[in-house]
């Protein structure tokens, strides 16, 4: 047994070194700068800054809106995906997985082309007899972009849970007199709760740190925490305050994950078996 364990340690050692180099070392540098450049008062300066509370509210509000929009579309998409079989299911699964294989910058630029004043969406609205809508540099454009980016992270956990639910339960409920809507609300949706919670947590925590889309598509008068931190590093050269703010954001994400882990084992939800029927 000891030889077996030592063998696994040797196999895991290169991965541990890579994680320590790419993850733990940068965090250690951030912590060092936050308490030494010029001192530990950086945390107080960040939390007491006149604009940081507004920035945090904007960040949480934006993340919450994205969670709601992806939850609505993601639950419907996952339900349809869970009920289908064969080629059509594989096509819909490929559609939701394909964006994950594309660069964030490329996807953001594609969204920019679609929602600009002369873009595909506005041209379609004109053809339908409506006026053009200003979406670039607005909260609406940022919501559209982030919803598109985050939709796979909501669909996949929900689908992973829904596909394991016995469909005979729905048939039994309808056989006992429940309507399809009641059967879905009283049986299918509660059984899907672990996947829904996992998707909500993933989308919310990732959205808290979004930088590219708010920078390119959002209203520049409304800063989010990631752009506020970037300004501290890039424009003001306040590396200590920027490091402290980054650690505060990281701590918030960790707290959300720890709170969610009390209700849902996220590792199980994300352990997909794509060959399962």
pLDDT of residue 64: 92
Reading the block at residue 119, the tokens are 């873009």
Look up residue 200 and give its DSSP letter. H
42 φ, ψ (degrees, to nearest 5): -60, -40
pLDDT of residue 7: 62
**pLDDT-based confidence at 265, cuts 50/70/90?**
low
pLDDT above 70 as % of the chain: 91
pLDDT beyond 80 at 232: yes
What mean pLDDT is predicted for residues 247-251? 88
Reading the block at residue 261, the tokens are 């882990």
pLDDT of residue 275: 42
pLDDT beyond 70 at 70: yes
Please give, one letter per residue, the 3-state secondary structure of 7-70: HHHHHHHHHHHHHHHHHHHHHHHHHHHHHHCCCCHHHHHHHHCCCHHHHHHHHHHHHHHHHHHH
What mean pLDDT is predicted for residues 186-208? 85
Which CATH number applies to 50-269: 3.30.1330.10, 3.90.1150.10, 1.10.3720.10, 3.60.21.10? 1.10.3720.10
| Among 80, 102, 104, 101, CA closest to 91 | 80
- Which run of H or E residues covers position 253? helix 239-261
pLDDT of residue 67: 94
Buried b (16+ CB within 10 A) or exposed e, 36-65: eeeeeebbebbeeeeebeebbebbbebbeb
pLDDT above 90 as % of the chain: 6
**pLDDT-based confidence at 210, cuts 50/70/90?**
confident
pLDDT of residue 66: 93
pLDDT of residue 72: 92
Q: Which residue has the higher pLDDT, 226 or 4?
A: 226
pLDDT of residue 264: 65
pLDDT of residue 277: 40
Q: Where are the domains of the chain?
A: 1-36, 50-269
pLDDT beyond 60 at 12: yes
Q: Which residue has the higher pLDDT, 269 or 117?
A: 117
pLDDT beyond 70 at 222: yes
pLDDT beyond 50 at 273: no
Assign residue 225 a region (left: φ > 0; alpha: ψ between -120 and 50; beta: otherwise).
alpha
What mean pLDDT is predicted for residues 64-90? 88
pLDDT of residue 137: 81
């Amino acid at each position: 047994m000891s030889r077996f364990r030592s063998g696994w340690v040797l196999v895991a050692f290169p991965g541990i070194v890579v994680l320590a180099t790419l993850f733990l070392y940068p965090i250690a540098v951030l912590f060092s700068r936050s308490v030494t450049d010029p001192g530990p008062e950086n945390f107080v300066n960040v939390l007491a800054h006149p604009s940081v509370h507004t920035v945090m509210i904007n960040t949480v509000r934006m993340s919450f809106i994205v969670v709601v929009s992806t939850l609505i579309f993601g639950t419907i998409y996952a339900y349809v995906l869970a009920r289908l079989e064969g080629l059509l299911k594989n096509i819909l699964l490929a559609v939701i997985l394909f964006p994950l294989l594309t660069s964030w910058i490329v996807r953001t630029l594609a969204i920019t082309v679609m929602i600009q004043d002369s873009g595909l969406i506005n041209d379609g609205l004109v053809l339908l007899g409506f006026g053009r809508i200003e979406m670039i540099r607005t909260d609406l454009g940022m919501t559209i972009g982030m919803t598109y980016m985050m939709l796979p992270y909501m669909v996949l956990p929900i689908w992973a849970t829904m596909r394991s639910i016995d469909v005979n339960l729905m048939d039994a409920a309808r056989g006992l007199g429940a309507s399809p809507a009641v059967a879905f609300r009283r049986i299918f949706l509660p059984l899907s709760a672990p996947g829904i919670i996992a998707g909500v947590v993933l989308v919310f925590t990732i959205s808290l740190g979004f930088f590219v889309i708010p920078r390119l598509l959002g209203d520049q008068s409304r800063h989010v925490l990631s752009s506020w931190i970037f300004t501290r590093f890039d424009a003001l050269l306040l590396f200590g305050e920027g490091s402290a703010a980054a650690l505060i954001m990281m701590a918030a994400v960790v707290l959300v994950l720890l709170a969610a882990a009390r209700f849902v084992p996220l590792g199980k939800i994300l352990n997909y078996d794509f060959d399962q029927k």
